Amino acid sequence: MPDSPDGGILRLSLPLSAESVGVLLDRLEAWAETHEIPMTVASRMNLVAEEIAANVVMHAAGATFFAVTAARAGDEIWLAVEDDGPAYDPLSRAEPDTDAALEDRDPGGLGVMLVRRLCATARYERTAEGRNRLECTLAAGA
């Protein structure tokens, strides 16, 4: 995690539910406003966090929570989402062929494609604590 000069790090752990995704978005929005993050950047950050958290809620069988950490370090926003579900690297999935006819495509994958495109970097790891962690950085400038 990057150092945040003003200590402005958001740490949040929530139970696995659709309602928790809404709570996450409200807290991220308030955090972004407090740290004067431009609205366009905050919107991208919220979209990335929502896609990742919603995927955990919908697909991480056996997970009991997800945790989000956000920090601003200079010209970057650092975002990490962790869960205690089975090991799964969403970044290992091939991007969907959006040029193919809808009936010819495999379902899913659009959210992860969006995360890849909105983030400057995205990295998955399975932590020593047995958690999935997806870390992303976004440019903090508008």
CB 80 within 8 A of CB 133: yes
Look up the CATH number of the domain holding residue 110. Answer: 3.30.565.10
- Per the structure, the count of domains in the chain is 1
The answer to whether residue 65 is domain-embedded is yes
Q: Is the pLDDT of residue 5 over 50?
A: no
CB 11 within 8 A of CB 69: yes
The answer to whether residue 113 is domain-embedded is yes
CB 52 within 8 A of CB 123: no
The answer to whether residue 98 is domain-embedded is yes
CA-atom Rg of the chain in angstroms: 15
The answer to whether residue 116 is domain-embedded is yes
Query: What per-residue confidence (pLDDT) applies to 114?
Result: 80
The answer to whether residue 7 is domain-embedded is no
pLDDT in tens, 27-48: 999 999 999 899 999 999 999 9
Quote the domain boundaries for residue 113. Answer: 16-139
- Greater confidence (98 vs 112) lies with 112
Query: What per-residue confidence (pLDDT) applies to 1?
Result: 53
